[in-house]
């Protein structure tokens, strides 16, 4: 079997491995060597040890998948390749590439051909898609017309909802105005009232817009009659 080593900057290797475990499950002869700040000092030795161990277990060879051409993981892998036979380095690694190669390596004996296949698969996995192509529209013009028709219908629905909301709000506002007019004109000593925020008190006197209110603590406050939200029955 051909062994696989996955390495890259930061959490690249960990992230690909996590996604791989979810899609294809745990794999044999597959190791990751992250290049992170806390491990930077020993990264070269760690990578060499992982490759050497994998090469000893896999007679057909080892492929090292790295994230970036020219980065530290790539440079370290290339230096190790000078000392280890049947070692291939693949850059620009992505999840579809590795998933397909995990199945393709079963029975494979040519590590170089397998690495070339990885490049082909990785390139094919990078595509540009549009909503029209995914939905299978006959052409972009037809799709655009469908989107326009849907947008017009949505705007009409929103307009109707706006009119209904306006009518409801206006009617509700009239009720509130009438309610507060009743409160502000019917205020009289002896009534129990509630202010905004849920504070209660007893009206002691009303002098124009100023209402003298006694609260539970015994304190007497002068407040605006318009601050009163409700006359408690």
**Cα gap 50→82, rounded to integer Å:** 15
pLDDT digits (tens, 9 = 90+) for 84-106: 999 999 999 999 999 999 989 98
pLDDT of residue 56: 95
Range scoring the smallest mean pLDDT among 11-15, 61-65, 197-201: 197-201
**pTM, whole model, 2 decimals?**
0.58
pLDDT of residue 208: 80
pLDDT of residue 138: 54
**Cα gap 199→215, rounded to integer Å:** 8
pLDDT of residue 180: 64
Instruction: Determine the Cα angle at 140 with ends 136 and 146, to 5°.
Output: 80
**Cα gap 89→91, rounded to integer Å:** 7
Whether residue 229 is predicted with pLDDT greater than 80 in this model: the reply is no
Whether residue 211 is predicted with pLDDT greater than 90 in this model: the reply is no
- Go through the chain and tell me how many residues it has: 233
Range scoring the smallest mean pLDDT among 12-21, 48-57, 188-197, 199-208: 188-197
Range scoring the smallest mean pLDDT among 23-32, 84-93, 96-105, 132-141: 132-141
**Cα gap 82→75, rounded to integer Å:** 11
Angle at which helix 43-57 crosses helix 72-81, to 10 degrees, equals 50
Q: In what order do the strands lie in the sheet containing 192-195?
A: 220-224, 210-214, 200-207, 192-195, 228-232
**Cα gap 20→41, rounded to integer Å:** 28
Q: What is the mean pLDDT of residues 66-86?
A: 95
Which domains are seen in the chain, by residue range?
Answer: 3-124 (3.40.50.510), 181-233 (2.30.30.100)
């Amino acid at each position: 079997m051909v062994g696989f080593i996955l390495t890259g900057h930061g959490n690249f290797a960990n992230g690909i491995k996590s996604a791989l475990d979810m899609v294809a499950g745990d794999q044999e002869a597959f190791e990751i060597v992250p290049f992170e700040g806390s491990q930077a000092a020993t990264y070269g030795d760690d990578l060499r040890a992982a490759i050497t161990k994998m090469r000893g277990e896999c007679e057909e060879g080892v492929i090292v998948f790295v994230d970036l051409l020219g980065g530290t993981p790539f440079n370290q892998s290339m230096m190790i390749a000078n000392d280890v036979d049947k070692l291939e380095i693949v850059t620009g690694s992505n999840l579809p590439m590795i998933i397909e190669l995990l199945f393709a390596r079963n029975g494979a004996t040519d590590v170089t051909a397998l690495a070339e296949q990885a490049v082909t698969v990785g390139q094919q996995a990078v595509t540009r898609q549009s909503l029209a192509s995914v939905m299978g529209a006959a052409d972009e013009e037809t799709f655009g017309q469908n989107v326009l028709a849907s947008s017009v219908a949505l705007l009409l629905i929103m307009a109707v909802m706006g009119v209904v909301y306006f009518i409801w709000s206006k009617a509700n506002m009239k009720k509130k105005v009438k309610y507060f007019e009743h409160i502000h004109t019917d205020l009289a000593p002896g009534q129990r009232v509630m202010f905004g925020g849920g504070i209660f008190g007893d009206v002691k006197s009303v002098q124009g817009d100023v209402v003298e209110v006694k609260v539970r603590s015994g304190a007497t406050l002068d407040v605006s009659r318009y601050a009163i939200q409700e006359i408690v029955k």
